[in-house]
Amino acid sequence: MSAKILSGTETAKEIRAELKAAVEKMHTEHGVVPGLVTILVGEDPASQSYVSGKQKAAKELGFYSVQENLSADTCEKDLLDMVERYNRDERIHGILVQLPLPKHISESRVIMAIDPDKDVDGFHPVSVGRLLLGEEGFAPCTPSGIIELLKRSGANTSGAEAVVIGRSNIVGKPISMMLARKAEGGNATVTMCHTGTKDIAAHARRADILVVAAGRPGTVTADMVKPGAVVIDVGVNRIGIKPDGKAILAGDVDFDTVKEIASAITPVPGGVGPMTITMLMKNTFKSAQMKLEKEGHTNK
């Protein structure tokens, strides 16, 4: 029997409907809407597309939304000054600087400049520390989307053997921490594999939950998957061009063969991808909610 398809597109729609209602409630009860600023430096087509999607989602949900477009030759100081201005802006609850940045600008300095309470991307070292310690804060959006997909699909993570292939700061490391933490969607026993791992296939075959974020198509084949495993494919690889000029995309997992062995699997596209922007919106709403709570209000 073929695996259940875990549609990130459908799950993202559900979450956005919940968020839209919560935003309306926040505005009605407190006169506040979540505020998000996205800052784009340069004209990279992929970055422009990502930022456009984030702004579209924010507006659809009723957020206060600001888009800043800076030229590729913008100096680091000017970008840092803009970040600081939005750190102080009471209407803004989330600050996102689209990566990658031009080579003359230090990404780490820019990330460090963002107020951790507005770090809705979850990249600031304070956010990483809060995640590790189990404190209130923001987790990176793609791992957050994976956890939501697992929870809403009914996948049981508690006591499960989870194997993560990939150790990036954006996906591999944070999803490993989130799967292991003492919380809903966690309590798994986690193995993190990477380019230095001997016999990745042996580790993968133990997994009840297999998260693949290697960045290489065909990394996981059917012989590497335990029957009945839940497979989360994070990879988005361009492997060709269609006659209409659109990219042909493939994940890191050999979908057609693995879906005959797994109990559930995410497709590419339409799996983890749609969840990422939605979790950015959820983090921004959470930031606004946390600010209200600090001021003595609640919006549960």
Predicted pLDDT of residue 299: 47
Predicted pLDDT of residue 1: 64
Least confident of 39-48, 83-92, 193-202, 244-253: 244-253
Give the model's confidence band at 29: pLDDT under 50 very low, under 70 low, under 90 confident, else very high.
Answer: very high
- What average pLDDT does the segment 188-217 reach? 97
Residues 40/298, Cβ–Cβ less than 8 Å: no
- What average pLDDT does the segment 260-283 reach? 96
Give the model's confidence band at 99: pLDDT under 50 very low, under 70 low, under 90 confident, else very high.
Answer: very high
Question: What is the C-alpha to C-alpha distance for residues 124 and 114, in angstroms, rounded to an integer?
Answer: 7
Residue 280 C-alpha from the chain's centroid: 7
Helix (H) or strand (E) holding 57: helix 45-60
- What average pLDDT does the segment 176-187 reach? 96
The full set of domains in the chain, from first to last, is: 28-115 (3.40.50.10860), 141-273 (3.40.50.720)
Residues 54/280, Cβ–Cβ less than 8 Å: yes
How many other CB atoms are there within 10 angstroms of residue 67's CB atom? Answer: 14
Predicted pLDDT of residue 46: 84
- What average pLDDT does the segment 1-10 reach? 92
Instruction: Please report, rounded to a whole number, the percentage of residues in the chain having pLDDT higher than 70.
Output: 99
Asked if the peptide bond before residue 116 counts as cis, ω within 30 degrees of 0, the response is no
The answer on pLDDT for 300 being more than 60 is no
* Residues noted as catalytic: 54, 98, 121
> Which pTM was predicted?
0.94
